[in-house]
Amino acid sequence: MTHATSGGPPHPASSPERTARHVGIIMDGNGRWALARGLPRAAGHRAGVENVRTVVEAGVEAGIRHLTLYAFSTENWNRPPAEVRGLLGLIDLYLERELNALDRNGVRLRHLGSLEGLAPATRRRVQQAVRRTARNDRLHLNIAFNYGGRAEIVRAARQLLSTNPAPEQITEARLAACLDTAGQPDLDLVIRTGGEMRLSNFLLWQAAYAEIYVSQVYWPDFDRAEFMSALESYAARQRRFGRVATTTRASAA
């Protein structure tokens, strides 16, 4: 993992083919951001919601086509009940405030994860937002809410097995077509804010060859400049996918 600090000069601009197609963000540090300011953790989560607009706009500006935000994991149910209730309300808050602007700006929303366990009104709101933006194509914005990577793979396996395939017909491509992200490219870059060095059950299949960038900045403070620094870091890397490096430096070594 690249362990980044805030500030510092960005990497040189790269060619268009070095632009990440699919970026995933583990939006971590909301609670710590609040506690550092003497605020309740809920205030940090609300500040995190406010910051989503900044990063989505920066993603559109940078030419990213697919952006996945990790908003609520299946493990988050284990947090104190009051905090869970607050987190569950954030998806309603976000859609209420941002849906019109997202639709107007050509953003297509997609929900990753399960709607089970969510309030009926929340499920309807999410489904309506997905339907309303289904024809948009400027940016595909995935909200991973009540999501876990292992649970997603299990769902995909069950869906594939329901077609009664012969063993030799079970392929990576067919399983990928049953994932929540079916039809989208795998992750090119995973960004984690808040300094922790783990994936936390986030898009485990899709992140198989993703580059990873860890920022010390808590999510509410992860602004456009921080996001662009992460993208510049990605653009400066050489992705080998298990192959031998082809650069002059690598050949000389």
Beta bridge partners of 112: 144
Backbone angles phi and psi of 109, in degrees to 5: -90, 145
Please tell me which residue in 30, 51, 76, 221 is annotated as part of the active site: 76
Sign of the alpha-carbon torsion through 177, 241, 235, 200: positive
* Whether residue 76 lies in the annotated active site: yes
CA distance 94 to 157: 31
* Whether residue 30 lies in the annotated active site: no
Across the beta sheet with 189-192, the strand order is 2-4, 211-215, 189-192, 22-26, 66-73, 139-147, 107-112
Sign of the alpha-carbon torsion through 151, 153, 157, 160: positive
Residues acting as catalytic residues: 28, 76
